[in-house]
C-alpha cells in the first residue's frame, strides 16, 4: 500500500490561536478551512513542499477538550544547527512553551515545545535515518 499524504487531525479549544501559533512557529500556511460543517469547523495547515499537513477542528455542539498524553508528539527533524536554532526561537516567539520531554531520548538532541492545548512538538537537531 502506497500513501501519498499524511493528515494529523487534532481537536483544539481555539482555532484562531492554534492556527496562528503553528503558522508562525513552524512556517506553515492555511491550505484549507471549513465552517460549521455538520457542527464542526476546522483549518488545515501545511506547505506545498510537505507531504503532510495538520488539521485543527472545533466541535460546536459537543466540544472535545484536548487531552494529549506526554508522549503524543509531533517530531520534526532539522539537521542543520543554525536552522534548528532559528526554528526553536521561532517557536518561542509564536507562543509555544519549552517543556521537558517525558522520554529523555528527546532531550539529547532536541527541544520539546507545548502549545496552549497541551500538544507537544519536538524539534530534533538531527537527520532522520531509517536503521
In the structure, what pLDDT confidence band is assigned to residue 3 with cuts at 50, 70 and 90? confident
Closest to 19 in 3D by CA, of 125, 116, 87, 126: 116
Q: Which domains does the chain have, with CATH numbers?
A: 6-59 (3.10.180.10), 73-124 (3.10.180.10)
The burial of 54, by beta-carbon neighbours within 10 Å (0-12 exposed, 13-18 middle, 19 or more buried), is given as: buried
pLDDT digits (tens, 9 = 90+) for 11-35: 999 999 999 999 999 999 999 999 9
Q: What is the pLDDT of residue 1?
A: 85
Name, in order, each residue with C-beta under 8 angstroms of 86's C-beta and a sequence gap of 6 or more. none
The Cα 85–Cα 111 span in angstroms is 10
Element (H, E) at 25: helix 15-26
All three cell numbers of 65, joined, read 477538550
Give the whole-number percent of the chain exceeding pLDDT 70. Answer: 100
CA dihedral 77, 79, 83, 85 (to 10 degrees): 80
C-alpha cell read off for 62: 459537543
C-alpha cell, 121: 512538538
Mean pLDDT of the chain: 96
pLDDT, greater one: 50 or 2: 50
Q: Is the pLDDT of residue 131 over 80?
A: no
Mean predicted confidence (pLDDT) in 74-103: 98
Amino acid at each position: 500500500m502506497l500513501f501519498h499524504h499524511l493528515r494529523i487531525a487534532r481537536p483544539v479549544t481555539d482555532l484562531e490561536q492554534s492556527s496562528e501559533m503553528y503558522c508562525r512557529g513552524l512556517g506553515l500556511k492555511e491550505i484549507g478551512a471549513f465552517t460549521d460543517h455538520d457542527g464542526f469547523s476546522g483549518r488545515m495547515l501545511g506547505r506545498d513542499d510537505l507531504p503532510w499537513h495538520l488539521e485543527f477542528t472545533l466541535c460546536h455542539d459537543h466540544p472535545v477538550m484536548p487531552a494529549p498524553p506526554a508522549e503524543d508528539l509531533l517530531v520534526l527533524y532539522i539537521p542543520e544547527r543554525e536552522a534548528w536554532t532559528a526554528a526553536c526561537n521561532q517557536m518561542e516567539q509564536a507562543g509555544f512553551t519549552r517543556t521537558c520531554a517525558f522520554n529523555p531520548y528527546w532531550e539529547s538532541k532536541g527541544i520539546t515545545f507545548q502549545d496552549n492545548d497541551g500538544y507537544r512538538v519536538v524539534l530534533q537537531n538531527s537527520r532522520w535515518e531509517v536503521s
